[in-house]
Structure 1
Amino acid sequence: MKEHKKGNIKRALGTDDGTDGLLAQGDDNTGTDLNALLPVPISKKLKKGNHRVNDMTADEKCPVEIKGELHIRNESTDVPGTKIELPIGTPVTDIAGAELEVDDVGSALQFHEFCRTFAEVLKIRKGQPEKVLQVITGGGRIGREVPSVVADLHISLLSVIQEDREENPSDYSRNGDAWIIDTGKYISESTVISKELPVDCLSQGVLGYKKLSPSLKLHVLNFLCDEALSTTTLKNWVLKQHESATERKVAAREKFRAVKEKVRELGQPFLCVSSHLLFFTLINNHFPLVL
């Protein structure tokens, strides 16, 4: 019975007696198709602990943040390696020729941008915002009276606010206390009053204003700017500017289409210069290229 089974195995494998001894000493792969096994990719990432054998991808080499510090991963490990030392920047404290504290730079930029945007409607003179900042940061160099360039801007803002509230704009004197006291009154009536705004000092007029630090004076100015920004006068002006810009864009598009159609009518010989013709036509007619 055993001999019969052995003969069947030989016939199934197609062997003869000469190879019988080899089959008898075969290993575990006997009868297995080795070509059917899936090849192991050479580039497969082999890990040993936290270490990688092959190179890392570009994304994996990007700096990583650990406990608030930037690190670069090592080529062969997952563990962050070299710490990145970022250069220390130089704070910008000079705004429009005025030397400011670091914490006041944002307030100064806010004020300057407001004046630049609404200079036309508020009749702000050229160079006036810069001069105001320079005077405010002068500190003790301000004399007994508030400089006219500073007083004029406060009075202009107060007039817009009073007109929006249907109040008769007061005829303020630059050298008087009235405009300072009224500013303090509006601050005290505000629903979004900041704790930093000096209501008590402003109620004392010029003497109280002179006690304010440059930072507080900027806060007072920006308060008036914000109040003016919510008035109907400035809102209508913004809408008018938006409508005007929209009309200019529409006109530019129509001009662009007209020139493009004209170039198309010129025919094939002129296609090589069509782009130049279109460009210079728009420039000469002072139309922006709006698609």
Structure 2
Amino acid sequence: ALDVKKGEAGAILRALIRKQNLRRGQNTLVVEFQIKLLTLILSESETESSSLTASNGKNSWLKVLEDLITESDLGLKEFALDWLNKGISGYNDLDISKKLILLNFICDEALGTMKLRSCIDDQNAKIAEEKKAAKSKVAEAKEKERNLKQKLQDEMAKAVISNGTSLSISEYDTLVSKIKSEAAKAHTELL
């Protein structure tokens, strides 16, 4: 849903910690990610929106963020919004804990979107299906192993009954070798 690349989340947090400032016309990873999240949130709202920008102005992501904070039920009401009056420089002046609070807030809001929930549910269903298939394979392998052990016991009993005496070491080794090769064959069939 967000098209986040492997390692991008870590890079975003590192950029946040390094306190990279936004130069004129240049987006930081953190701001770009927050814009992605806000765009996702806006896509499910009834509000008509054009593409968000990292700069100050009519389509600023900060304006959308301010609206989201004031309309949200997630309890960010006590978070002072006076820094928004300074625009992007106000955001850059925030300390890391406030930026993390904002990032967490936006992530929480994004998790409430149908698009992201659907993506998460699809991934969970896929993982559950893979887990179920793996458990089934393991159960099948254990069943074959039990059957082969039983077969070994049965064949040993047959050999003892037919000979009237216990098996010689070479007969025993031959029988065990035969069963082991069948077990290995059954195991490779499962894989």
Query: Scaled by the length of structure 1, what TM-score is found?
Result: 0.47
User: Secondary structure of the residue that 2:75 maps to in structure 1?
Assistant: coil
Match runs of 1:93-242 below 5 Å: 121-139=1-19, 142-145=21-24, 147-177=27-57, 178-194=60-76, 197-242=79-124
The AA in structure 2 aligned to 1:134 is R
Change (3 A) 1:260 1:201: same
Q: Cα–Cα, structure 1 residues 159 and 261, in superposed 2: closer, same or farther, change >3 Å?
A: same
CA contact (8 A) 1:157 1:225 kept: yes
Of residues 249, 255, 266 in structure 1, which corresponds to 2:137? 255
In the alignment of these two chains, the number of paired residues is 162
The separation in 2 between residues aligned to 1:234 and 1:143, in whole angstroms, is 28
Are the aligned partners of 1:135 and 1:142 in contact in 2 as well (CA < 8 Å)?
A: no
**TM-aligned CA distance change 1:157 to 1:246, over 3 Å:** same
Aligned mates of 1:169, 1:181 — CA distance in 2: 12
Structure 1 CA distance for aligned equivalents of residues 186 and 95 of structure 2: 54
* One-letter amino acid of the structure 2 residue matched with residue 183 of structure 1: L
Partner of 1:33: none
Residue 171 of structure 2: aligned partner: none
Secondary structure class of the residue paired with 1:162: helix
Counterpart residue identity of residue 138, structure 1? R
Question: Identity of counterpart residues, as a percentage?
Answer: 30
Q: Cα RMSD (Å) of the superposition?
A: 3.2
Higher relative contact order (CA 8 A, sep 6+): 2
Rounded to whole Å, the distance in 2 between the matches of 1:259 and 1:171 is 55
Maintained 8 Å contact 1:148/1:174: no
In structure 2, how many angstroms separate the alpha carbons of the residues matched to 1:206 and 1:279?
65
- Quote the Cα distance in structure 1 between the aligned partners of 2:18 and 2:142: 58
Amino acid at match of 1:225: C
Tell me by how many angstroms 1:279 deviates: 10
**Do 1:259 and 1:278's aligned partners in 2 also have CA atoms closer than 8 Å?**
no
Letter in 2 for 1:186: L
Unaligned 5+ segments in structure 1 are 1-120, 286-291
Question: TM (normalized to structure 2)?
Answer: 0.67
Unaligned runs of 5+ in 2: 153-174
Instruction: Give the secondary structure class of the aligned counterpart of 2:91.
Output: helix
Distance 2:69 2:122 in 1: 29
Q: Give the Cα–Cα distance (whole angstroms) in 2 for the partners of residues 191 and 254 of structure 1.
A: 44
Output one character per residue of 1:123-160: Cα deviation in whole Å (capped at 9) or x when no partner.
11333323322332334x51444633122101110112
Query: Residue type of the partner of 2:66?
Result: G
Summarize the Cα distance change of 1:195–1:261 in structure 2 as closer, same or farther, 3 Å threshold: closer
Deviation at 1:220, TM superposition (A): 0.8
Q: Which has the higher helix share?
A: 2
